[in-house]
Chain A
Amino acid sequence: AQTVTQSQPEMSVQEAETVTLSCTYDTSESDYYLFWYKQPPSRQMILVIRQEAYKQQNATENRFSVNFQKAAKSFSLKISDSQLGDAAMYFCAYRSQRGGKLIFGQGTELSVKP
């Protein structure tokens, strides 16, 4: 069975600085998808970025980028130029190429200091 692990329950970053959130996963599949979701205090989960395992190029969405290391089964999220609105819970998630459920990690709570 696939598992997702986020080893940092809490992280803190100074406004305008860069922070990296870690995620590792375990799977025997060769093709799959990885996601980072953000959950602000309003509770509504929002997709931040996604990565297809068959793509070697790391995904980028504006200030958000990933470092995808397939052999190491690592999928970290880098947030550049952190803003106060980035403060939230961040979840890493795995999905099989066959579709179906997303498997989530335990989350990392990010605080941004002004």
Chain B
Amino acid sequence: GAGVSQSPSNKVTEKGKDVELRCDPISGHTALYWYRQSLGQGLEFLIYFQGNSAPDKSGLPSDRFSAERTGGSVSTLTIQRTQQEDSAVYLCASSLERLAAGELFFGEGSRLTVL
């Protein structure tokens, strides 16, 4: 597709279960970002990839959160042993290069609900 694709769009899970959220960036985009948006809140940075490496993972809230990117393309955000406070919309974005002026293109997000 032409834009950033995220799946699933909605995920309901039980507390304690693991979840995986997928992001497929725009083809050729080397930079990829994960953000979290809680209800009515701003965007909280989680992690940034340049290629397959993550030079900034300072926003990951705990060791239950991890992310990887393979082949410089698809990225997976994994949340282990989910908690109710993990409920949020997880947004992925990509950009053509790491230059500061570059526009970030966002996906529509994955809404996670932890019961």
- Chain A residues near B (Cβ < 8 Å): 32-33, 42-47, 50, 52, 91, 95-107
Contact = CB atoms under 8 A, between A and B. Distances in A.
A42 B103 contact: no
A95 B99 CA distance: 10
**Secondary structure dominating the interface of A:** loop
Contact of B108 (A33, A43, A47): A43
A82 B55 CA distance: 40
B48 A100 contact: yes
Interface residues of B, number: 25
Interface stretch (B13-21, B37-45, B72-80): B37-45
B112 to A, nearest CB: 13
8 contacts: A42-B108, A43-B91, A50-B103, A98-B100, A100-B56, A102-B104, A104-B42, A104-B43
B48 A44 contact: no
Contact of A100 (B41, B98, B103): B98
B42 A43 contact: no
Contacts of B108: 42-44
